Structure 1
Amino acid sequence: MPDRPIRFLIVDDIVENIVALEALLRREGLVVDYARSASEALELMLLHDYALAFLDVQMPGTDGYELAELMRSTERTRGVPIIFVTAAEMDEARRFRGYEAGAVDYIFKPIDPVILKSKAEVFFRIGRQARELERQRDEMQDIARHRDNVMAQLRAHADNSPLAFVTLDSELDIRSWSKGAERMFGRSAGDLLGFSATASGWLDRDGAQVLRGWLATPGDHAPRFSAEMVLDHAGVGPISCEVYGSVLTEGPGLQTLSLQILDITDRKQAEEVRSLLIGELNHRIKNTLANVQAIARQSLRQSHGLDEFEASFGGRLQALARAHSILSDATWASAPLDQLIDDQISSGTLDGDRLRRNGPPVELSPDTMLRLALTLHELGTNAAKYGALSVPQGLIELDWQLTNHQLTLTWRETGGPPVTPPQGGGFGTTLISAAGGGDSGAVTADWRPEGVVWTIVLAEGATPLRGTRTSADSIPAQPQRRPATLDGCRVLLVEDEPLVALDLRHELEEAGATVTDIVRSVEDALDAARGGGIDLALLDGNLRGEPVDDVAALFDQMSVPFCFVSGYGREHLPQGFDHAPLIEKPFRPDTLRMTLTSLLSRGVAQAAQ
């Protein structure tokens, strides 16, 4: 390498000769080593590369001639130039023997400094040139290795990349086709190389027009383009792709188009699914907020002060939040009932040492999980205030059975103070009753003196039962007089969230309306609508996973004004019912009354026409 010095070697058994010769050779960039015997010289030559060796002819033991022969017999030292130094008289026989041993020159003592320096300069320059050639050789080898590594990496990236790499010439003939392209389009390189991209069926006319436009675009420094286009897969057919192109100039009038192609079929489908999921997420969030709103309002109605409200509302909200955490961990799929019970114990609502539970492993759907979380919170809170958990010896027995997807839970308190039935049901009792999804008779209480027994029947568990969709029968509209205000108006509530239905009912009744029924499924809604006797309907946008198109169509056939009450946006509601107002969850009471009053007024005006 260029930073390594040039080395000369002096081999002489007399120190004074070595010192004199080294003094004459000394210069910048040169290192002069010396040895006093052939063995020392050979050891040094194994360690260093020498540009020139000065060998004394007459040395004890192995003389200069013999050392030269040894050097020529070894691969490492064979190329070292040798100059013999001798004090003997010039003799042709000795000269011949020296050249035969591989010497390039002779120097006779006494040494002429000018001749010595001149000869040494030649070999010093040769050594420098050799170093430079070595440097250039090493650089070229590094460049070649780097090039080979880069090419190997590019091939590996192209072959293993999820992208397809394709090169087209100016006529759109295929010049290269990567392994990724073979995987993406189900076509081998052997079947396509040299063929037209359009004639092979891979590229359609619209795509060819786009690519020709790229090739025709003037510009310097490899113009780059991108576009979405449809390309053909041998087994699947047309697939959506994102294509990135670079126009490369290989010579006058010679252009190639380098393409990197990404299959975005899954992304297109994911975008459609995302739109649906966003709608579902909005629905869930607004339903949750509507539940929180209902809990807040009803807790406030039942509280005698802010402290009591804060305690009851905070506890219920925490129970709902922890249930959401359980469902989030389960990615909003079914979650175990035992996990919900353990959560109530860890939060302090239930005492694990005084709880006896027995039942098979059960998973609950998200809606059922949230309702049951509030129910267990209320049961545990009531037991701690008035029931079995209010005294040290009290116990709770929680049993459940699963039969044909119907879950029956029994909450039994023993060992507590004597029980007397409450005079009136508070909001806590309403929350407990909401566990049954609002179905009549789903939740019952047996107020035994030794302890209350609650029985909760959940018609829907881990796998909710779907009611059979029934198409709306054609029912002729009957002319009837409808009220212009909510006062005295008969309202049908179609809502599957019990707490939201309860909150809506309170608001409507405070406005003077009469809630004729609360239904929670499509089938029940159709039956209630056919029964007549309603002036107005509030319709949830989705009932237990079922769309409500048939219910909305039946209301229109019967000329019953209705509005949607939903967490969904308008784009996810039944289409063709834009005339029905949308009240978004969570709702404001003033917005609810204003919207319903306007709807009734519009209905009266239309009837008068």
Structure 2
Amino acid sequence: MPWGTPSAQEVKSVDDKSVSSEIPIMSQMADQSAECHSDKERQLLAAIIDATSECIKIVGSDGRLVQMNAAGLRMIEANNWAQVEGAPVINLIAPEFRDEWRANHKRICAGEKVSWTFDIVGYAGTRRHMETHAVPIRLHDGETGQLAITRDITARREDELQAARLAAIVASSDDAIVSKTLEGFITSWNAGAERIFGYSAEEMIGQHITRIVPPELQSEEEDILAHLRRGEHVDHFETVRLAKDGRRIDVSVTVSPMRDKSGKLIGASKVGRDITERKRFERLQQLLIGELNHRVKNTLATVQSIANQTVYRAKSANDFATSFGGRLQALARTHTLLTRSTWQGAVLSDIVRDQVPLSEIEGDRISYSGPMVMLNAQAALHLSLVLHELATNAMKYGALSNPLGKLSIRWMVRTDAGRNLVLKWQERGGPTVTVPQARGFGTTLIEKSLDAHGGLTSIRYEAEGVTCEIMLPLPESEPATGGSYYKPLPERPQAPRSMQSSVEKPVAGKRILIVDDEPLIAMDIVASLEDEGCQIVGPAGTLQKALNLIERKEIDAALLDANLSGDPVDTIAAALARRKIPFAFVSGYGREGLPEAYQQVELIKKPFQRQQLVDVIQQMLTEDDTVVPFRKTT
């Protein structure tokens, strides 16, 4: 019934000892109810109780409602008191909380004070979470009932659940989630931050965030704090932070301002994701793309050089097509071998089987043996071309050109002076051998290919057949697992150039150093510049040989590759600069592949036109007092 209407079950008296100290207002109200003698006071008390936002109710010992204020009626979605008068309270309790409610009501009626939480379901079906504080109260009929103040804490509970969910997310996140004050002092530090940066929460809470910021990025953190003080969100950005062990960690960071319930700015939250692996992958990807670009361009330049050298010495169009096609096929077969090993290298025995025509020769006329030797990609390509040249000439003029000749290929690894591959190509039983009167392309290719790797070759033209011995240095870290007849094609006389005698060659007589570890490309550059009257220094296929030539020879200008068998050419570029020798790069890499200190040096990209070489050399030699021409070209 409403608090202003008296009844037979109205509160008769209240035992002070039974009133909970947690609800002093209720105690005072009960005392006033027992003591008041006038309707005016009674009405005032009822008005106060009905004005409160909390549910105040009296429940009889039988669990039925005796009285309830207006706030309580609103909470249970009752239209009026008549709808609920004498109703069992248990009907309003959510099913899973009913046993607990009965037990607690019994305890209260036995004289205990009880506080607990439970859910109710109103008459309109709305579910609310309630917090109640209840004390025993003596009713007029002499029974002990329950006097309770109940508060709707549904919103608070949702906030707590939301906070708990967020706390669980923060605790279990692999990302670093950190909060800090507007001055930059850390107030929370989750397990993800511990894992990424190595500091525990105890080590970091109370410390300034700059503890994990590299010295050169301190100003970046100041800018972030300035944005936060203005209440601005700092969008995702990538930066670097320091771990406890000194490692530099690539992180992706988002920073958001934090506000209290009143909207006041109180700090900031930072979410940092470790992107070190992603950045490493991106750098590797760029490296691989650059390497692929370099290899493709180098391959094209190699093909261009093969074409130039072949056509220069070919006797006819058919002769050119046969020689050029054979060399391209040799190159392609080795590329296939290298592709199977993801370009890590190729086994020597596989190269021999690919380049020597085993299936075309009947019987046991060809034999080969040796340990399992893995050659790196570049050495494999060059040795493939060497073996192709030897085999081609053996088929045309040597031991494999008649049915009686035999070919033996033997190799071993010597370790007496470093690790060296020693290969012996020996032909016997072919036509009588005579020493060639001129050097052909094959001979030059063999020598230059091996020289590019610091190797040596020796060809002996003996009456019973040709013997070729090859020595090729091997890397110390790569374990060994696991003499041919050569009649060169006649030199093709150089065709006179149109008006050659009347046109002055601008670079004639200039001493040009050539540094390139691709022998075919180096040969093509040499041939191009010799046609212009240049004197060639080198070519050098290794760092040490290039440095020795720079030290000992007079050089007017230099053309150098950006990379020699995986080694950068920074030291060569620096040596040329010290001697004030102008130079340009000839490379399949873009500018990002050039030495950092010389990225503005003239760059000729492979494959190139011969005239480009001449134009760049002429430009370098006409620059007054210029060691390195810093004119960026595409």
Partner of 2:395: 384
The alpha-carbon deviation at position 549 of structure 1 amounts to 4.5
Give the match for residue 485 of structure 1.
506
Q: Does 1:188 align with 2:177?
A: no
**1:71-113 CA distance string (max 9 Å, x none):** xxxxxxxxxxxxxxxxxxxxxxxxxxxxxxxxxxxxxxxxxxx
Q: Check conservation: 2:517, 2:541, Cα contact below 8 A.
A: yes
- Provide closer, same or farther for how the CA distance between residues 439 and 258 of structure 1 changes in structure 2, counting only shifts above 3 A: closer
The Cα offsets for residues 171-190 of structure 1, whole Å up to 9 and x where unpaired, read as 87767644322211223346
CA distance in 2, matches of 1:556, 1:202: 41
SS of the residue aligned with 2:371? coil
For the Cα contact (< 8 Å) 1:364–1:461, is it kept in 2? Answer: no
Residue 407 of structure 1 aligns with which residue? 421
- Judging changes above 3 Å, is the alpha-carbon distance between structure 1 residues 212 and 406 closer, same or farther for their aligned structure 2 residues? same
The offset of 1:386, in angstroms, is 3.4
Correspondence for 1:119: none
8 A Cα contact 1:493 1:518, kept in partner = yes
Specify which of 288, 293, 309 is matched with residue 299 of structure 2: 288
2:383 is matched with which residue? 372
Correspondent of 1:302 among 305, 313, 317: 313
- Quote the residue 2:470 is aligned against: 456
- Secondary structure at the aligned position of 2:521 is classed as helix
Q: Which residue identity lines up with residue 226 of structure 1 in the other structure? A: H
Q: Which amino acid aligns with 1:185?
A: F
For residues 600 and 222 of structure 2, the distance between their equivalents in structure 1, rounded to whole angstroms, comes to: 47
1:498 deviates by: 1.9
SS of 2:422 mapped into structure 1: strand
| Corresponding position of 2:322 | 311
> Cα distance 1:520–1:409, how it changes in 2: closer, same or farther (>3 A)?
same
Query: What is the TM-score normalised by the length of structure 2?
Result: 0.58
- Choose the corresponding residue for 1:433, options 444, 447, 469: 447
The 2-side partners of 1:275 and 1:425 are apart by: 43
Mapped partners of 2:222, 2:606: distance in 1 = 50
State whether structure 2 residue 163 is matched by structure 1 residue 163.
no
* Contact 1:345–1:351, Cα closer than 8 Å, also in 2: no
Is the contact between residue 455 and residue 473 of structure 2 (CA under 8 Å) also seen in structure 1?
A: no
411-420 or 166-175, which moves further after superposition? 166-175
Matched, 1:506 2:516: no
Q: Distance in 1 between matches of 2:600 and 2:185?
A: 57
Answer whether contact 1:396 1:413 (CA < 8 A) is retained. Answer: yes
C-alpha change, 1:371 and 1:200, in structure 2 (3 Å) is closer
Alignment deviations for residues 121-155 of structure 1 (CA, whole Å, 9 cap, x no partner): xxxxx9xxx9xx9xx99xx9xxxxxxxxx999999
Distance 1:157 1:358 in 2: 65
Sort the Cα spacing of 1:190 and 1:549 in 2 relative to 1 into closer, same or farther, 3 A.
closer
**What is the SS of the residue equivalent to 1:452?**
strand
* Alpha-carbon distance in 1 for matches of 2:458, 2:442: 14
Deviations 1:183-205 (A, max 9, x none): 1122334665xx44637945778
- 1:324 is displaced (CA, Å) by 2.7
| Contact residue 436 and residue 459 of structure 1 kept, 8 A | no
What residue is the counterpart of 2:559 in the other structure?
538
Alpha-carbon deviations, 1:436-484, whole Å to 9, x = none? 22589922323344433221121355769xxxxxxxxxxxxxxxxxx98
What root-mean-square deviation, in Å, do the aligned CA atoms of Structure 1 and Structure 2 show? 4.9
Matched, 1:236 2:257: no
State the Cα distance separating 1:357 from its structure 2 match.
Answer: 1.8
Distance 1:257 1:549, change over 3 A: closer
Aligned residues: 449
Q: 1:443 aligns with which of 449, 457, 460?
A: 457
Letter in 1 for 2:333: R
After superposition, the C-alpha distances for 1:249-277 in whole angstroms (9 at most, x for unaligned) are: 77442778554321234555666666666
Amino acid at match of 1:380: A
SS of the residue aligned with 2:469?
strand
For 2:470 and 2:310, how far apart are their aligned partners in 1? 22
Q: Distance in 2 between matches of 1:365 and 1:350?
A: 29
Distance 1:250 1:407, change over 3 A: same
Distance apart, 1:243 and its partner CA: 1.3
* Distance in 2 of aligned mates of 1:333 and 1:297: 29
Counterpart position of 1:344: 355
Change (3 A) 1:510 1:312: same
Equivalent residue for 2:208, pick from 183, 189, 198: 198
What pairs up with 1:534-573 in 2 under 5 angstroms?
534-556=555-577, 558-573=579-594
CA positional deviation for 1:376: 1.6
Matched, 1:335 2:349: no
Contact kept in structure 1, 2:452 and 2:542, CA below 8 Å: no
Q: CA deviation digits over 1:271-291, x for unaligned, max 9?
A: 666666665555444333322
Quickly say closer, same or farther: Cα 1:282–1:250, change in 2 above 3 A. same
Cα 1:440/1:267, change in 2 over 3 Å: closer
Are the aligned partners of 1:485 and 1:600 in contact in 2 as well (CA < 8 Å)? no
Matched with 1:262 is 273
AA matched with 1:359: G
User: Aligned in 2, Cα 1:559/1:215: closer, same or farther, shift over 3 Å?
Assistant: closer
Structure 1, unaligned runs of 5 or more: 1-125, 141-149, 465-482
Match status 1:253 vs 2:263 = yes
**How many angstroms apart in 2 are the aligned matches of 1:578 and 1:165?**
41
Question: Is the Cα–Cα contact under 8 Å of residues 175 and 271 in structure 2 kept in the other structure?
Answer: yes
